[in-house]
Structure 1
């Protein structure tokens, strides 16, 4: 795969019909504070949901310590496998914010002061408090394009298919919202959820048969407890709306055949 991301390709299936190739992504969550348990990550859920809405499927996520070799190795391993690699964290002003330098090393380019990034930060701080540590956030790998940060001005950046974002959730979300127009996605994955007061073991065999009939639909079962009762949520996901509807109909029929009424049947949504 080249380092620049092209439009999603269309492969040929055995019958000769074109099949959309999924656009894939990996998320690298960078920070010792995540691994220590001091900080709970909330960025992955937001990224996965938002990317799915534009037709990009998160296929893998890793949590990486603040270590140069670990970051470089993870970036280089993932950028040749997935269409996009998103990193979160490690682009702040302190000594342990090493993500930008690590991305530069992964691509074999120098880290440079970006004039536009510096200008934005000078405007934001108005000449007050703009010290060397903060100016470090204007340093990006040579050849990068900036990602706007409307919250605190210090930008993220993209180089090749690697997109580098802040770790602060509010800033990351603002960056991602501004990115949507330049991300190239494939078909949106649709999701429907059917929940019922029944156990996973009671429906396992029947659910397996439904999955076998609809290989293009991902079906997951997730137990829950509510008001002292145990139940199961059955989540079906697919880019094929007709197959999704048929699979859900079979799940509803399975439950009805067991004498179980669903307590929730969501309309299709991106998820």
Structure 2
């Protein structure tokens, strides 16, 4: 017998293989995003979120806020960017790299390669703080050989600083949230200066007035009019996510970190504090 054509069971002329049914294709748009160093993405399974370290046509290396690195194949629709499914592409070569500027606004030159890590450190309160600092000042810090480490809360600052042992060749800069008159963070910073004695001259604690590092990101960068006011007794990030309909804290972190690309996305007090801390530990 010859080949059958157009019979009811063949599905010919239909969008699906069964008579009377039409196929339902996914309508979600898949973004195409250039994998530039510093771009924050998540793998499609939600198991790893980090900034692009390097990428080529075959693979991309991501580094999370804790410094862990993982390699992923450059497969289509294998990543999430700002919560949306995305395909990463290798970064395009730039015509004049010597004139490029880093996310912090400093000139990025080919002749300035990253140094071996110095003994000096900058500490921030948590992994979200570290991710934002890396996104904006990562290039500058690598050039200077300065490592940024998360403290996981200001409460451990005094003990950790004693263990660090600051000195003339081992400076310590600390960025804390909510450094305002009467706050817990301000009391901790004042207590640190007393406890360290003469060694305190090799430690600089600065901060910003915002309750959390997220609030130091300009609302417009995140696509909101203003950061919501969270009632006392409710953990700030959870309250923000609930008020904005962002899901859980992990979803909120993806939105905030994905919104930051340069210093223009940050409030001035955070920018000023970080620039002063970098100057302190590098001079």
TM-score, scaled to structure 2: 0.30
TM-score, scaled to structure 1: 0.31
Q: Which has the higher contact order (CA 8 A, sep 6+)?
A: 1
